[in-house]
Amino acid sequence: MEKLNQAYDYLSKIIKEPVQYGLVLGSGLGALSDSFENSVEIPYTDIPGFPVSTVEGHEGKLVIGDYNGKKAMLMKGRFHYYEGYDMDKVVFGIRIMKLAGVEKLIVTNAAGGVNTGFTPGDLMIITDHIGLFCPSPLRGPNIDSFGPRFPDMSYAYDRELVKKAEKCAAKLDINIKKGVYVFTQGPMFETPAEIKAVRILGGDAVGMSTVPEVITANHCSIKVLGISCISNMAAGVLDQPLNHLEVMETGEKVKNKFELLIKEILDNL
């Protein structure tokens, strides 16, 4: 809590009013911040105690800006467990958002398609997740000022925000998918056998992020909307090797569609 307060004290000199909503921008999606007015970009390295992104496609900047008269906080790049960070560092930015007043959070990511009805470039609204392989970010002494010791995760992804996102996609004539996101620790891609197991468990997409952030947001009563860009088909779905370059290339191809959807959702929050 001391580290969080130090970071927030630094940011409070820049944030002059409560922040209404937050966004976490996944691989290759940082350009969305260009649509925000009166924005200030703060490198993570300038914020006391803030972790640093080490993955290609994650710029490592916190952006404070306005969209349609509402104050927003955007993370251009997130932190992953596989980078070597403890979970309290992985979710550090989400707790900063709570201190700043964020009530609604949009998390985005690039994910591997497990559902064989998906194709690379599809956008998927996350309806639920499977995080059984995810070390809990709530492990250790509970921070009572944020939330209860045993938070309910029945509606980790807010149902009203899911409906709103569906309507926005329909308005833009985007063929949106819905599904369950499954967390794996990484950094290696999953094996074909692991993907088969994920499919049996009911997963539609797989990735190495998001779930810790969503758990933490729910713990501190932030409503969450999650959207995945299906950047590649997961191991074993297609007879070809996987690489991060494919993830980046697909993100580049669909970023305009993704950004249009996020903007439409923001317009209707």
- Taking CA atoms, 269 is separated from 25, 103, 133, 217, in Å, by 18, 11, 32, 18
Q: Which position among 7, 8, 27, 67 bears the catalytic label?
A: 27
97 is a catalytic site residue: no
Q: Of the listed 129, 156, 232, 235, which one is catalytic?
A: 232
Q: Kindly report whether the peptide bond that precedes residue 48 is cis, defined as omega within 30 degrees of 0.
A: no
- Residue 232 a catalytic site member: yes
Q: Indicate which residue of 83, 190, 194, 213 is catalytic.
A: 83
Catalytic member of 53, 209, 218, 231:
209
Per the annotation, the verdict on 219 as an active-site residue is no
The catalytic position among 7, 8, 53, 80 is 80
Instruction: Single out the catalytic residue among 208, 217, 234, 235.
Output: 208
In whole angstroms, give the CA distance from residue 78 to residue 108.
10
Given 10, 82, 85, 155, which residue is catalytic? 82
Instruction: Report the amino acid identity of residue 139.
Output: R
Q: Is 129 a catalytic residue?
A: no
169 is catalytic: no
Our answer to whether residue 83 is catalytic in this structure is yes
Catalytic residue among 110, 124, 165, 234: 110
80 is catalytic: yes
- Of 119, 116, 108, which is closest to residue 231 (Cα–Cα)? 119
Q: Select which of 7, 58, 129, 194 is catalytic.
A: 58
Burial 89-101 (b: 16+ CB within 10 A, else e): bbbbbbbbbbbbe
For residues 108 and 29, the answer to whether their CB atoms sit within 8 Å is: yes
Best CA proximity match to 192, nearest among 234, 250, 248: 234
Q: 155, 244, 252, 259: which one is catalytic?
A: 244
Active site residues: 27, 58, 80, 82-83, 110, 208-209, 232, 244
